[in-house]
Amino acid sequence: MPNFLLPHASPLNYAPMLDHNLSNPTHFLPLMEHQYSLLQPLISSTTTVTVPPAITHFPANGEVAGKPRTFSSNRAIAIRLLSIFFIAIISIWANFEASKGFEITIINEAPLDSLAGKRFALFYISDDKATRIVLKASKIVEDLLYPNARLPKKQIGHVTLRLSSRKMTEKVAVKSSSGEEQGFVIDINSLLMEEENANRAMESAVLRGVARVWLWDGHSKAPPELLAGIVEYISMVSGFGEMSYGSGAGACDLPECGSHSWWEDKDAKVVAKFLNYWEENDKGFIHRLNRGMKDGWDDRTVDDALGVGAQQPLCVACNFSSTARS
């Protein structure tokens, strides 16, 4: 049985708030950090039992010499059995978590006396809910982007989920972790903790962040608008969409369509709508597109994922096709 290491948390540390590169401390803020290693088991499979020294007993009247009195009870036996059962359950759970293959760190960077800081600590750190949300989101995204186990998968070593203390214009932001080749930081806007349905807002933001983590980006050369559109597509087909998609007339109409770089300056929802049209008409398009960004990027990467020629931009073909179907 493998070794297990129980999650640990420092109650309150004072750590520097880091800049975007996570390297230059600017000032100190109290933060709560919980780190979970999914590569290391949670508890030791080697259970050490300390045997108490033998008790020398002098027989009293009526006792037979050489037969010491034993001290045991049914209650003690039951407690030991329950402990063993509990350890076994934790071991099974830990093995399942370890199979996920990457480490998760949860950081509460918001002031501990603020509403956001209190809610995040109470509802998402105290019972490891934030970790479970990350794992659930990862499963959803992996199933969409890597449906075949034989497909090459992006290597993720460490994901840090951080409730940010800085003012953010977006709900979630993702960047590479400084000093970690396979590490990523997902910053969550603390204002989400003040929304009426904070839990759904949290799950939606984490899903978007995890989707961006799992996406290849053509060695940082893929267009941000296209990547944002893929993230939006994943979010919407996962139940966090704000609009429904179809495959009929108007399903992929794009304004100002006329070049192979049809995604430029387009809203993420518009790009997601277009991507959904082609996924509906050519199953596997999204994961082929992601795989196409593994080794690099050029303006033909999207067309190559569909296996189409270069006679006309995809958006023109889509508009014509959707109109013909009506």
Q: Among 214, 232, 262, which residue terminates a domain?
A: 214
pLDDT at 77: 83
**Same domain for 243 and 201:** no
The sheet carrying 183-188 orders its strands as 8-17, 27-36, 103-108, 158-163, 183-188, 172-176
Structural domain contains residue 261: yes
Domain that holds residue 149: 1-45+76-214
Question: How distant, in Å, are the alpha carbons of 112, 166, 195, 206, 311 from that of 192?
Answer: 16, 13, 5, 11, 46
Return the top range by mean pLDDT from 40-49, 57-66, 171-180, 183-192. Answer: 183-192
Structural domain contains residue 57: no
What angle is formed at CA 228 by the lines to CA 224 and CA 229, rounded to 5 degrees?
120
**Same domain for 279 and 159:** no
Parallel/antiparallel/unpaired status of strands 158-163 and 183-188: parallel
Q: What is the DSSP letter of 15?
A: E
Number of domains in the chain: 2
Structural domain contains residue 110: yes
pLDDT at 71: 47
Among residues 139, 151, 128, the alpha carbon closest in space to that of 101 is found at 139
For the cut 60, the answer to whether the pLDDT of residue 19 exceeds it is no
For the cut 60, the answer to whether the pLDDT of residue 57 exceeds it is no
Q: What's the pLDDT tens digit per position in 246-258?
A: 444 455 555 555 5
Structural domain contains residue 266: yes
pTM exceeds 0.85: no
**Same domain for 252 and 210:** no
**Same domain for 172 and 90:** yes
**Same domain for 231 and 130:** no
Average pLDDT of the chain? 75
**Same domain for 149 and 31:** yes
**Same domain for 177 and 96:** yes
